[in-house]
Amino acid sequence: MENFTYCNPTKIIFGKNTIAQLDELIEPEAKILFLYGFGSIKKNGVYQQAMKALKNRKVIEFANIEPNPTYETCIKAIELGRKEKIDFILAVGGGSVLDASKFIAAGIKYKDDDLWQIVTSRGSVVTSAIPIGTVLTLPATGSEMNRWSVMSKSSTKEKLSFGSEHTYPKFSILDPETTYSLDKKQIRNGIVDTFVHAVEQYATIDLNTPLQDRYAISILQTLVELAPSLMSDKKDYDAYASFMWTATQAQNGLLGCGVRLDWSTHGIGHELTAFFGLAHAETLAIVLPALWKYELDNKCKKLAKIARQVFNVTEGDEKQQANTAIMKTSAFFNSIQMPTTLAHYNIKKADIQQVVDRFAERGSSIGENQDIDAKAVEKILKMCL
Amino acid sequence: MENFTYCNPTKIIFGKNTIAQLDELIEPEAKILFLYGFGSIKKNGVYQQAMKALKNRKVIEFANIEPNPTYETCIKAIELGRKEKIDFILAVGGGSVLDASKFIAAGIKYKDDDLWQIVTSRGSVVTSAIPIGTVLTLPATGSEMNRWSVMSKSSTKEKLSFGSEHTYPKFSILDPETTYSLDKKQIRNGIVDTFVHAVEQYATIDLNTPLQDRYAISILQTLVELAPSLMSDKKDYDAYASFMWTATQAQNGLLGCGVRLDWSTHGIGHELTAFFGLAHAETLAIVLPALWKYELDNKCKKLAKIARQVFNVTEGDEKQQANTAIMKTSAFFNSIQMPTTLAHYNIKKADIQQVVDRFAERGSSIGENQDIDAKAVEKILKMCL
């Protein structure tokens, strides 16, 4: 096991009818910047529940935060927050709204004119931030219980992550009933995102971390078990609740304690979103199987364990089981109506080059062995066609 | 799943050579009350490492904190801390020193003369505490990453727990190499304590919490897997590291999220320590198998899962498997030289009555169904003879 530091101060308030607790969680005199997306929270009643709980507090709304939130949008929110001298940010929505809230919270306090430095420095220039609270409505990114934010810059087609000890939410309210109104595509995306968060921290170098390994496998087993219920039309509270908690657990830092992390599927996936506009989870479902094929020798032992422990495979030697894990993972994604090829989105061989060029420009390699360079990305993406 | 709130702000610094980080973790001008036990930390070099890291800080030492730390001892530390106007507590040792530090931290700040109220109120009267940092040397209680403290009062033979949001350690340093000098009895106690922490949160009412259930099973599987290596003479870093992290995980609140908790084995066990002086883990190993026999019908499904998933039992129906789980758990404890009967400690049938009387005096029941009253305690303890 490697040395590690772990600290996650976010307070989680989990369960039915918990949005009303906003009243206890936010100071009565706070001036709040209330962030949300395109208004689905008005249709499912979450907006109304939150506003009721906030009582007579001064609330400034900022809506229309897009999926893969952009620097350009967030700058407007930062200007508004500065002008209004807000002292608390309430982010209500999915990972995009929550990620945006972290950039806005750090941005309002940041002294330099070039706010994109917050992202390019990976958060190291952040020395303070407006306190954030969140009401999560889409289980997927884990942003509700971590420091991380992924920001996109439309003008340069960049998509990069940053995080700081100042950007943990002070609290996050997770009411599973708010997720009843999600459509199948959102649920499917959340399942895939959570699955890939777990495997990027599991299917990597074996450093003798049996507990962390079992936690990751627990997440995968739970997702595979819950998926049919989540993708059906019934609203099974316990299934939605476990899904919500599983998504949070997959990306709150716990699985990665003492582990060498991969994150290459995310690294390549972010570029597919930046260049072609695919949803985050859609990119992961395409890249992961191909990346695993490319890294088969390195990841063989862990992939074979996924085959045995998640998909109950008993036949074959380790290498055959590793291949079966890749096949079963793709089949699992397909079973929840998630495509696993670039072809599905009409992305062709010639389109790949711009992504490869970006990795070549950066000159750095990714993955737990730092062996995935531009050349490797090209090979992997060709396997995704 | 039940509603829950979870927040654990303790910063964990885990790994080799991490004690030196005390210098960064504690303010240079802090006046420190340095708590420890009977000096084993001087023999294994932990004391020296800590003192070196503390550099020229003002350090007031308070030693000889006993296993099952007493009110009487802690009062002396509180008086010293008040007199010296200390502003930070560093607890170096196992769960007893850490638990004591929480009472001392709250006690120094407590305004009322009757400090035992801190315990009898279960911590609800605590409104502030001196900040605590810890260096853990014995994986077992989880005190390094939770709010809880178990205090004993010699004069009345009471042993009770309390906790407050103010008694989380600010940080805990977990260097697995500090545990190399533990003797087999201490290791054995730590394994049993950790095992019982996990099952008190797992073998309870099934509330459809698949992820929490899998996490608990992961802890049990890891303990059973590691035990032979830990009980051997070899010093396998990864085994000690995983043991240390597993013990922390078993009692940092995570397993209990959304779960109805049991804690009746602890409740009865505490009285066995209070009346007969047994080590905490020794009491748990005696009570657990008997309590499971008594609660067999209620816990049948979960116990059968322990049989199948932890002890690889494939034969028998659910009830038979539940019985096998009890037998296998006792056998596991015995395999690490942990006795499972009162007879081993020469405690006889007539001795039980005083324990039963205490439960009768209190008049309240324990366990996840609140069905274990004095009568039940009597039956369970008779099964422990």
Same domain? B215 vs B273: yes
A/B interface, count of CB pairs below 8 Å: 119
Domain of A152, CATH number, reads: 3.40.50.1970
The verdict on residue A6 lying in a domain is: no
Of B129, B156, B178, the residue at which a domain comes to its end is B178
Q: Same domain, yes or no, for B258 and B349? A: yes
Q: What is the pLDDT of residue A36?
A: 98
Question: Could you give the CA distance from residue B224 to residue B219 in angstroms, rounded to a whole number?
Answer: 9
Question: The domain spanning residue A366 has which CATH number?
Answer: 1.20.1090.10
Residue B313 lies in a domain: yes
Do residues B117 and B187 share a domain? no
Query: CA of B11: which chain A residue's CA is closest?
Result: A7
How far apart are alpha carbons A311 and A329 in whole angstroms? 9
A7 touches B: beta carbon within 8 Å:
yes
Residue B242 touches chain A, beta carbons under 8 Å: yes
In this structure, are residues A5 and B11 in contact, taking their beta carbons and an 8 Å threshold? yes
Same domain for A222 and A361?
Answer: yes
Q: How many domains does chain B have?
A: 2
Write the pLDDT tens digit of every residue in B234-276: 999 999 999 999 999 999 999 999 999 999 999 999 999 999 9
Say if B153 falls within a structural domain. Answer: yes
Say if B3 falls within a structural domain.
no
CB A377 within 8 A of CB A354: no
- Which residues of chain B make contact with A214, given a CB cutoff of 8 A? 214, 217-218, 221-222
Whether A110 and A129 share a structural domain: yes
pLDDT at residue B1, rounded to an integer = 97
**One domain for residues B225 and B356:** yes
Nearest to B91 by CA among B165, B182, B26, B6: B26
pLDDT of res. A300: 98
Q: Which of residues 125-154 of A touch B (CB under 8 A)?
A: none
The predicted structure's pLDDT at residue A20: 98
Q: Do A15 and B6 touch (CB under 8 A)?
A: no
Range of the domain at A64: 11-178
pLDDT at A232: 97
Q: Is residue A155 part of a domain?
A: yes
Question: Contacts of residue A14 in chain B, CB cutoff 8 Å?
Answer: 3-6, 257-258
Is residue A170 domain-shared with residue A208, that is, in the same domain? Answer: no
Closest approach of B10 to chain A, Cα-based (Å) = 6
Condensed to tens digits (0 to 9), the pLDDT of residues A20-70 reads 999 999 999 999 999 999 999 999 999 999 999 999 999 999 999 999 999
Whether residues B206 and B276 fall in one domain: yes
Q: Is residue A206 within 8 angstroms of chain B, CB to CB?
A: no
- My answer on whether B232 and B369 are in the same domain is yes
B162 and B197 inside one domain: no
* Residue B52 resides in a domain: yes
Partner B contacted by A228 (CB < 8 A):
no
Q: Where are the alpha helices (DSSP H) in chain B?
A: 22-25, 40-43, 46-54, 71-83, 95-109, 117-120, 184-202, 210-231, 237-250, 264-276, 280-294, 296-310, 318-335, 349-362, 374-383
A314 — contact with chain B (CB < 8 Å)? Answer: no
The answer on B214 and B154 residing in a single domain is no
In a 3-state reduction of DSSP, which class is residue B4? strand
Give the pLDDT score at A114: 96
CB-based contact A242 B208, cutoff 8 Å: yes
Write down which residue in B125, B157, B178 finishes a domain: B178
Query: Distance between CA atoms of A348 and A41, rounded to whole angstroms?
Result: 37
Which residue of chain A has the CA closest to B9? A9
Q: For all residues of chain B together, what is the average pLDDT?
A: 97
Closest-CA distance, A306 to chain B, in angstroms, reads 15
Give the residue from A160, A178, A196 where a domain finishes.
A178
Cβ of B5 within 8 Å of Cβ of A13? The answer is yes
| pLDDT < 70: residue spans in chain A | none
Are residue A164 and residue A225 in the same domain, yes or no? no
Q: Is A3 a member of any domain?
A: no
Report if residue B214 sits inside a domain.
yes
